[in-house]
């Protein structure tokens, strides 16, 4: 597919396309080389009773941090350990119940290989990700995932480019394979991302953002037009619930007021029961706010009455509340 990309007339763009083509081919190469070793690595991590510890130095260290972060956010608790710091005390964070992923393209990183004997004495399982399956790291590891690439995108063949891209993608493949094996869901993801947009959508409930108590506008069926307008205006929601004997019997919105003005020749004795829309849409207070949004959009309404488990109206949630909570 990448061979079909035409060379660009601008040499800078042509160089960039060449880099992307080389790195894309490297990923296809790594994908084609996956075998039962990858499965065994996943099985080892699935059986891990502790944490997945990822380590590497230099560019591999940066990649290791990203892989560790991805594992943690997708249901496989993980942390990064710098190999140089590990040999000066941080190795105490690693236990025999952990699984260590050691990353070194050459497999001969001095700082990384220095801590491996200690890990072996503690019987900590070790997965190596390396471009050299005959390296010291590979020989000492319980499982080796080879990420050798044919060409670096760097024209000098010096700067890690294709190799780091391949390593990062291999780490993503491990994380997502574990995610699927564990049945990790959107709700699970949201729990570790409460500040993100997905977390807000999947964790925020109607009760968290609805208007209640003094903010909940309500009148009775016999409330006069003047008092209905005063209630709607004072609560600033563009609506009011119509309640009778603590039961919801209707809703009056700004639109209902306009329609009443159009129908009636005289507004002097107009009551709430003559303006209200009966049987308004409701939603349980424990429902997700995202569900409230879905109902509003489906029925083209801007407010929903919130009810408790017994069906008693206890508040209202509006489109502006969803906007403020960044559910939209």
Domain boundary among 140, 155, 184: 184
What separation in angstroms does the CA of 262 have from each of 229, 234, 258, 277?
A: 16, 24, 6, 15
Domain boundary among 135, 153, 184: 184
> Domain check: are 62 and 146 in the same one?
yes
Domain assignment of residue 133, yes or no: yes
DSSP assignment letter at 266? -
Q: Which residues contact 290 (CB under 8 A, 6 or more apart)?
A: 201, 202, 204, 327
> Domain check: are 213 and 174 in the same one?
no
Domain assignment of residue 272, yes or no: yes
Q: Are 91 and 112 in contact (CB under 8 A)?
A: no
Domain assignment of residue 279, yes or no: yes
Which CATH number characterizes residue 99's domain?
Answer: 3.40.50.10490
Residue identified by tokens 């500040």 is 195
Cα separation, 102 vs 83, whole angstroms: 9
Which CATH number characterizes residue 313's domain?
Answer: 3.10.580.10
> Domain check: are 237 and 310 in the same one?
yes
User: CA nearest 277: which of 313, 241, 244, 307?
Assistant: 241
Domain assignment of residue 194, yes or no: no
> Domain check: are 36 and 76 in the same one?
yes
Domain boundary among 184, 212, 239: 184
Per-residue pLDDT at 199: 53
Per-residue pLDDT at 269: 82
Domain assignment of residue 210, yes or no: yes
Per-residue pLDDT at 7: 62
Mapped onto helix, strand or coil, the DSSP state of residue 68 is: helix
> Domain check: are 153 and 285 in the same one?
no
Cα separation, 272 vs 316, whole angstroms: 18
> Domain check: are 71 and 177 in the same one?
yes
Q: Other C-beta atoms within 10 Å of 190: how many? A: 18
Q: What is the mean pLDDT of each run of 10 residues along the chain (328 residues)?
A: 58 90 94 95 95 95 95 90 88 93 95 92 95 94 94 84 95 94 70 55 82 92 93 90 92 89 76 91 90 90 90 90 80
Domain assignment of residue 193, yes or no: no
> Domain check: are 310 and 280 in the same one?
yes
> Domain check: are 166 and 228 in the same one?
no
Cα separation, 109 vs 60, whole angstroms: 10
> Domain check: are 303 and 269 in the same one?
yes
Q: Domain residues for 15? A: 2-184
> Domain check: are 158 and 235 in the same one?
no
Domain count, the chain: 2
Per-residue pLDDT at 3: 47
Cα separation, 111 vs 87, whole angstroms: 8
């Amino acid at each position: 597919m990448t061979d079909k990309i035409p060379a660009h007339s601008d040499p800078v763009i042509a160089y960039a396309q060449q880099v992307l083509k080389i790195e894309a081919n490297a990923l296809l190469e790594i994908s084609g080389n996956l075998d039962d070793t990858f499965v065994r690595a996943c099985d080892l991590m699935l059986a891990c009773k502790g944490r997945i510890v990822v380590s590497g130095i230099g560019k591999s260290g940066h990649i290791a941090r990203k892989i560790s972060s991805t594992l943690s956010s997708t249901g496989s608790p993980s942390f990064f350990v710098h190999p140089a710091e590990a040999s000066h005390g941080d190795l105490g964070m690693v236990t025999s119940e952990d699984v260590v992923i050691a990353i070194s393209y050459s497999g001969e990183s001095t700082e990384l290989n220095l801590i491996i004997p200690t890990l072996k004495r503690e019987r900590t399982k070790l997965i190596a990700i390396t471009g050299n399956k005959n390296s010291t790291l590979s020989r000492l590891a319980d499982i080796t995932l080879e990420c050798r690439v044919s060409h670096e995108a760097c024209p000098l063949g010096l700067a890690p480019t294709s190799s780091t891209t391949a390593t990062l993608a291999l780490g993503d493949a491990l994380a997502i394979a574990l995610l699927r094996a564990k049945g990790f869901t959107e709700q699970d993801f949201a729990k570790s991302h409460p500040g993100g947009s997905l977390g807000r959508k999947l964790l925020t409930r109607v009760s968290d953002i609805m208007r209640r108590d003094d903010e909940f506008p309500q009148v009775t069926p016999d409330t006069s037009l003047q008092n209905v307008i005063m209630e709607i205006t004072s609560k600033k929601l563009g609506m009011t619930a119509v309640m009778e004997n603590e039961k919801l019997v209707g809703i009056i919105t700004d639109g209902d007021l306009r329609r009443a003005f159009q129908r009636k020749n005289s507004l002097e004795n107009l009551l709430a029961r003559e303006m209200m829309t009966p049987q308004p849409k409701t939603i349980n207070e424990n429902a997700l706010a995202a569900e409230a949004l879905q109902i509003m959009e489906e029925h083209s309404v801007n407010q929903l009455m919130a009810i408790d488990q017994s069906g008693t109206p206890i508040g209202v949630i509006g489109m502006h509340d969803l906007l403020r909570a960044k559910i939209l």
